[in-house]
């Protein structure tokens, strides 16, 4: 009895190429790719997703020439580039909360108060860190991470393995996602921009009417207190706007 193992090289090449794309996307996607998740956990998630999706898309790699390394390396680079572009498109959605948090902190007068964002391991405004953590938690609470997995699977229908890289589509995707993140961030921070404008105008008028009063020492505590009160009142609307944006963006990638 003989065992035919000639399929192993092609199987290993297909697994490596799929893992290159899926692993890169998992490391960058919101929810699954947060820096707060241990590296080993993200690695296991990427390997398990590759094993699950491999029977679905293994046939797309049957044309890979294994006689030399050049075609395999070339295709590997393409898969990594696709993973980076799609992962960054998902990652840019979280930047909407970071932009909004920085603007809110500046308007409340606490822009100097910063902390380390546990999701990104970088120093940022404390309001931005809070909104980012809240957004990531809500992605899992509302099952939007299922759309992340759907986007991973759908990427093989949008960007076929071995096909030329659509540089124009990549640029348009990143441009649209970046513009959308700034738009949503501005929408979230809009009430605080209005609040900051009215509050500072009021302080200016009060300073002219009562020059003997130290308006600065009265204005900063009042700005922080009223700002956090406003944030607590509109927090539900803020999260609804953000989740709607994330759902539409991931839905376009997962369901197109």
d(CA 81, CA 104): 35
> How high is the pLDDT of residue 6?
46
Residue 62 forms part of a structural domain: yes
Cβ-Cβ contacts under 8 Å for 64 (sequence gap 6 or more): 10, 13, 14, 17, 71, 72, 75, 162
Stated length of the chain: 256
Residue 57 forms part of a structural domain: yes
Residue 163 forms part of a structural domain: yes
CB atoms near residue 228 (< 10 Å): 14
d(CA 75, CA 17): 7
Q: What are phi and psi of 213, to 5 degrees?
A: -95, 135
> How high is the pLDDT of residue 63?
67
Residue 63, classed as helix, strand or coil, is coil
> How high is the pLDDT of residue 5?
36
Contact 93, 246 (CB under 8 A): yes
Contact 158, 256 (CB under 8 A): yes
Residue 2 forms part of a structural domain: no
Mean pLDDT, 10 residues at a time, over the chain (256 residues)? 50 81 82 74 85 80 67 82 84 83 81 62 73 82 78 77 77 83 86 85 79 74 84 86 82 63
Domain count, the chain: 1
Residue 3 forms part of a structural domain: no
pTM for this structure?
Answer: 0.76
> How high is the pLDDT of residue 203?
79
> How high is the pLDDT of residue 114?
63
d(CA 98, CA 104): 10
| Structure-block tokens of residue 228 | 């956090």
Which residue range(s) make up the domain with 232?
A: 8-255
| Structure-block tokens of residue 150 | 């759907």
> How high is the pLDDT of residue 127?
81
Q: What is the DSSP letter of 60?
A: G
Q: By CB neighbour count within 10 A (0-12 exposed, 13-18 middle, 19+ buried), where does 34 fall?
A: buried
> How high is the pLDDT of residue 11?
74
> How high is the pLDDT of residue 113?
64
> How high is the pLDDT of residue 1?
45
Residue 191 forms part of a structural domain: yes
Residue 106 forms part of a structural domain: yes
Contact 96, 188 (CB under 8 A): yes
| Structure-block tokens of residue 246 | 């994330």
> How high is the pLDDT of residue 163?
74
Residue 200 forms part of a structural domain: yes
């Amino acid at each position: 009895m003989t065992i035919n193992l000639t399929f192993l090289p092609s199987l290993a090449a297909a697994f490596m190429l799929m893992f290159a794309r899926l692993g890169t996307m998992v490391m960058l996607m919101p929810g699954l790719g947060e820096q707060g998740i241990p590296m080993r956990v993200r690695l296991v998630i990427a390997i398990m997703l590759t094993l699950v999706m491999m029977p679905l898309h293994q046939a797309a790699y049957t044309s890979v020439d294994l006689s030399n390394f050049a075609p395999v390396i070339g295709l590997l680079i393409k898969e990594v580039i696709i993973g980076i572009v799609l992962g960054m498109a998902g990652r840019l959605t979280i930047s909407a909360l970071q932009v909004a948090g920085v603007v809110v902190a500046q308007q409340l007068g606490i822009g100097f108060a910063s902390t380390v964002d546990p999701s990104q391991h970088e120093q940022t405004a404390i309001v931005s860190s809070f909104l980012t953590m809240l957004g990531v938690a809500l992605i899992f609470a509302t099952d939007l991470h299922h759309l992340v997995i759907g986007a991973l699977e759908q990427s093989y229908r949008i960007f076929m393995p071995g096909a030329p890289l659509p540089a124009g589509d990549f640029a348009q995707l990143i441009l649209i996602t970046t513009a959308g993140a700034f738009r949503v961030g501005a929408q979230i921070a809009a009430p605080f921009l209005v609040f900051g404008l009215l509050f500072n105008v009021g302080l200016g008028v009060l300073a002219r009417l009562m020059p003997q009063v130290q308006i600065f020492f009265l204005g900063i505590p009042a700005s922080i207190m009223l700002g956090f009160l406003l944030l607590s009142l509109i927090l539900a609307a803020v999260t609804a706007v953000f989740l709607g944006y994330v759902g539409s963006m991931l839905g376009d990638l997962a369901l197109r």
